[in-house]
Structure 1
Amino acid sequence: MSRTEQIFEDLKSHFRNHSKVREQRAHLNKVHSVCWNADGRYLASGSFDKTAAVYCLERDRFVKGHIYRGHNASVDQLRWHRTNPDLFATASGDKTVRIWDNRTTKSAGVTSTKGENINIAWSPDGRTIAVGNKEDLITFIDTRTNKIRVEEPFSFEVNEISWNNTNDLFFLTNGLGCMHVLSYPSLEHQMTLKAHPANCICIEFGPTGKYFATGSADAQVSLWDANELACLRMISRLEWPVRTISFSHDERLLASASEDLIIDVAYTETGERVTDIHVDASTFTVAWHPKQYLLAYACDEKESGDRRRDAGNVKIYGFPE
C-alpha cells in the first residue's frame, strides 16, 4: 500500500470512530456563516437575526459565549483575523462592516459602505478587510483606522472574494464561471481563469498554501494548485450548486456542501470520498477547525409540521463516539 493510500485509509478509519455531532442553539433565525478563530478556541456565527455569536470549545463540547448586537440587518458573513485570536469582522445588509473584540461585547470599529454587504475577507497580513456588496462593488478598509482605502466597482456578478496566502493576489469568483485574479495592492487585472461552465459561487484557500478550491452552480468543486494556478481535479459527487467549501488544517480534507442532504468530505490528494455527513436540510456554511478534524456547519430551516427545526443551530461534527 502506498503512503497516499495509507493516509486515505487512516482518515476513513478516523471518521468511523469520530462521527458524533454536538449542537448549540445559537440564534433566533437562520445562520449564514460559521468561522473558527486563529487558535481554534472559539467559533463564531452570523445570522439573519442581525447578531453574531461566539462559542468556546471545551474538550468534547462547546458552550455559548457572547452575543454581539449592533447591526440593523442580517449578518451575512464573518471572518476572524488571521493571527489575532480575539478579533473578527462582520458584513451586513445594513451597509456597515463591524470589527469586534471577543474580550468585550462592544464593537471595536464600524465602517459605513455604499451598499448591502454580502461577503467579506480579511487579508493574511491583517491590515485590510475587503467587503463586497449586492452592486458588485468591493470596498477595501484599513483595519487600523476603519477608513476606506479604495472602492473598486466591477461590471460582472461578484460572488465571493479572497486573498491568496502570500497577500499579493486578490481573487473574485463571478457569475460566468470564472475567477478574476488581481495583483495586490495595485488591483491590476492579471488573468481570468475559467473554472466552471456555470456560476462560480465560492472560493477557499487552504491553510498551508498548497491548494485552493472553488464551488459552482454546476454542482462541482474544482481543486487548484495555488502556485501554478492550474486545475488539478474536479470533485463531482453533489447534485446541487456548491455553496460552501472548507479545507482542513493540514489540507488533506476538503468539505463541500449544498442543498444536498449530505456534506461531502473528500481527500484532496485524489478527490476520493472520505466520509459523508448526513444533514436534514440545505447547508450553506461549513468550516474546519484550524488544528483538529472538527467541522462546524449550519443548516437551513427544516419544516416540521407547523414548527421550524434547526433555525439558528450551529453543529460540530467529528467528536469521538
Structure 2
Amino acid sequence: MAPASQRPRYPLAKDKFSAYFSQFKSQTYNDTSSRGPLSGHSGLRSIAWNPLGTLVATGAADKTLRVWNPEKPNVRFSTELKGHSSSVEKVEFNPVKDAELASLSSDGAVKIWDVRTKACVNEIKGLGNANALAWAPDGTSLIAGNKVRKAFLLLLEPQGQSGVLFRLSPTQSTIISTHPQPVDSHQMAFCWSGKRIFVPTRDGRTRILSYPELDPVLRLPYTPAPGESTEFMLKGHTAPCLTAELSPTGKYLATGGADSIVALFDTKDWLCQRTFSQMEGSVRSISFTYDGCYLVAGCEDNSGVHVFHTESGDVVHTFKTAGHSEAVAWAPTRYCLAYSDLGILRIVGLSSERS
C-alpha cells in the first residue's frame, strides 16, 4: 500500500486527477508463454478484478486464461487456467466469492474455476457463438449470451431468429433456461438488486429486462405504429450497442457502441444525460471507478485510454498507449486501472509504480 501521505483523498477531485496519476507509470504484465501474437483483436479480450482487488484475470484470443497478482508482474507469479479450446471472450469473478472465476469462450462453453486450486469445478456447454457473460449480484447465477454468426445473419433475420440469452448456475452443468431474443445481444449488466438486467443490442438500443424471467420491464407511454414493439428501450447509439455498465452508486447506466460513443443514462428517468465522443473506433468495454466519479472506455483507439468525469463529461486524463485498448477495468476499492495495450495487460495506480 502507498504511504498515507501519497494516497489520494477520496473521492479524488476532478482538478487533481491528472496530477495524481502523472506520478505513476504503468506496470506491464507480459505473458511470455502466449501461444500466438498479442496485437489488436488477437490480444486480450477481457479483464476482471476479484471483489477484494487482489487478483486480476485476463482472457485472450489465443485461448489463454490467466490470473495475475497485481503486486507481482512477473508471469511466474501468475496462474494459467487451461481448458478452453477457442478464444476466451469474457472473464468475470463471482461478486461474492473472491476465488471463484467464470470464463466464457467462443467454443460455446462457460467454465467455473477455483483459482486457488486451478480446478475447473463446473462447465456448461452448448452456448453457441457465445459473446457475453454476467454474474447476478448475489453470485448464485449467471447470464450468458450468444449471437447469430454473420454468415447466416441475413438469411435468418427474416424469420425473426437471432441471439439467445441463457440462465446458468455455477454448480449445474446444464442450462437452467433458454431465452431467444428478437435481436442479437451484447455484453449486459445487472442492476444492484439483481431484479433487472440491461441488455445492449445490435440495433443500437438497450433493453431493460426482469430477472430471472427476462421479460421487458417498461412499456412505451403511447401507442406505437402498427407492427412496432411496445417495449421501452434506451436509445443512445446509431450503430450496434456493444456493452453496458452500471455505476457503483446506481445513478447512471453507461452504454458503449460501434459508433465510438458512450451514452450516460440517468436511472431515475432513463434520459440520456450526456455522451462521450472523444474515442475512435468501437467501444467494447466500460468501467467506473469504485465511487462512480470517473469512467473509462475500452475501444479500437490508438490515441490512448481517456478518463472522463462522470458529472461534467470532461476528459480529466489520458493514459498513453502503443495501440488499441479494448479491455479496461478499474479496481473495485481504489483508483487503480487495468487495461490492455497491444494485447498486453498494464496496470496503473499501484504504489510500486510511482515514478
Answer whether TM exceeds 0.5 for this pair. Answer: yes
Aligned 1:268-279 pairs, distance under 5 A? 268-279=310-321
Aligned 1:4-83 pairs, distance under 5 A? 7-18=13-24, 20-26=25-31, 27-29=34-36, 30-58=43-71, 61-63=72-74, 64-83=77-96
Deviations 1:180-208 (A, max 9, x none): 11111221112311121222111111223
Deviations 1:248-281 (A, max 9, x none): 1111110013222211100111111110111111
Which residue does 2:285 correspond to in 1?
A: 244
Deviations 1:144-179 (A, max 9, x none): 334321111112121222211111111111121100
Which residue does 2:123 correspond to in 1?
A: 110
What amino acid is aligned across from residue 166 of structure 2 in structure 1?
T
Does the CA-based 8 Å contact 2:245-2:254 persist in structure 1? yes
Query: Once the 2 structures are TM-superposed, how far is the Cα of residue 240 of structure 1 from its aligned partner?
Result: 2.1
Does the CA-based 8 Å contact 2:285-2:328 persist in structure 1? yes
**CA distance in structure 1 between the aligned counterparts of 2:128 and 2:280, rounded to whole angstroms:** 33
Does the CA-based 8 Å contact 2:106-2:131 persist in structure 1? yes
What amino acid is aligned across from residue 320 of structure 1 in structure 2?
R
What amino acid is aligned across from residue 147 of structure 1 in structure 2?
T
Give the 4+ runs in structure 1 shifted more than 4 A: none
Unaligned 5+ segments in structure 1 are 1-5, 301-310
**CA distance in structure 1 between the aligned counterparts of 2:298 and 2:211, rounded to whole angstroms:** 30
TM-score between both structures, scaled by the size of structure 2:
0.81
**CA distance in structure 1 between the aligned counterparts of 2:93 and 2:331, rounded to whole angstroms:** 13
Which residue does 1:298 correspond to in 2?
A: 340
**CA distance in structure 1 between the aligned counterparts of 2:60 and 2:119, rounded to whole angstroms:** 17
Deviations 1:77-104 (A, max 9, x none): 1111112110110011222110001111
Which residue does 2:258 correspond to in 1?
A: 217
Does the CA-based 8 Å contact 2:124-2:172 persist in structure 1? no
Which of 169, 182, 186 in structure 2 is aligned with 1:142?
Answer: 169
Q: Which of these two proteins has the greater Rg computed from alpha carbons?
A: 2
Identity of aligned residues (%): 30
Which residue does 2:201 correspond to in 1?
A: 174
**CA distance in structure 2 between the aligned counterparts of 1:17 and 1:194, rounded to whole angstroms:** 39
Does residue 229 of the first structure (1) align with residue 229 of the second (2)? no
**CA distance in structure 1 between the aligned counterparts of 2:272 and 2:192, rounded to whole angstroms:** 17
Which residue does 2:345 correspond to in 1?
A: 314
The alignment's C-alpha RMSD in Å is 1.8
**CA distance in structure 2 between the aligned counterparts of 1:28 and 1:239, rounded to whole angstroms:** 29
**CA distance in structure 2 between the aligned counterparts of 1:62 and 1:268, rounded to whole angstroms:** 31
**Higher share of residues assigned strand:** 1
Q: Secondary structure, in 3 states, of the residue corresponding to 1:131?
A: strand
**CA distance in structure 2 between the aligned counterparts of 1:188 and 1:33, rounded to whole angstroms:** 28
Does the CA-based 8 Å contact 1:97-1:113 persist in structure 2? no
More divergent stretch after superposition (208-217 vs 259-268): 208-217
Q: Secondary structure, in 3 states, of the residue corresponding to 1:17?
A: coil
Aligned 1:84-163 pairs, distance under 5 A? 84-135=97-148, 136-163=163-190
Q: Given the superposition, is the C-alpha separation of residues 62 and 227 from structure 1 closer, same or farther in structure 2, using an over 3 Å criterion? A: farther
Matched residue pairs, number?
303
Query: Once the 2 structures are TM-superposed, how far is the Cα of residue 16 of structure 1 from its aligned partner?
Result: 2.2
Does the CA-based 8 Å contact 1:113-1:139 persist in structure 2? no
Query: Once the 2 structures are TM-superposed, how far is the Cα of residue 28 of structure 1 from its aligned partner?
Result: 3.3
What amino acid is aligned across from residue 232 of structure 1 in structure 2?
Q
**CA distance in structure 2 between the aligned counterparts of 1:251 and 1:203, rounded to whole angstroms:** 14
Query: Once the 2 structures are TM-superposed, how far is the Cα of residue 291 of structure 1 from its aligned partner?
Result: 1.4
What amino acid is aligned across from residue 317 of structure 2 in structure 1?
T
Query: Once the 2 structures are TM-superposed, how far is the Cα of residue 314 of structure 1 from its aligned partner?
Result: 0.9
TM-score between both structures, scaled by the size of structure 1:
0.89
Which of 243, 248, 260 in structure 1 is aligned with 2:301?
Answer: 260
**CA distance in structure 2 between the aligned counterparts of 1:240 and 1:49, rounded to whole angstroms:** 22
Deviations 1:37-82 (A, max 9, x none): 0000000001122231001122xx5443210001111111111111
Q: Secondary structure, in 3 states, of the residue corresponding to 1:99?
A: strand
Does the CA-based 8 Å contact 2:164-2:184 persist in structure 1? no
More divergent stretch after superposition (72-81 vs 37-46): 72-81
**CA distance in structure 1 between the aligned counterparts of 2:215 and 2:186, rounded to whole angstroms:** 19
More divergent stretch after superposition (116-125 vs 32-41): 116-125
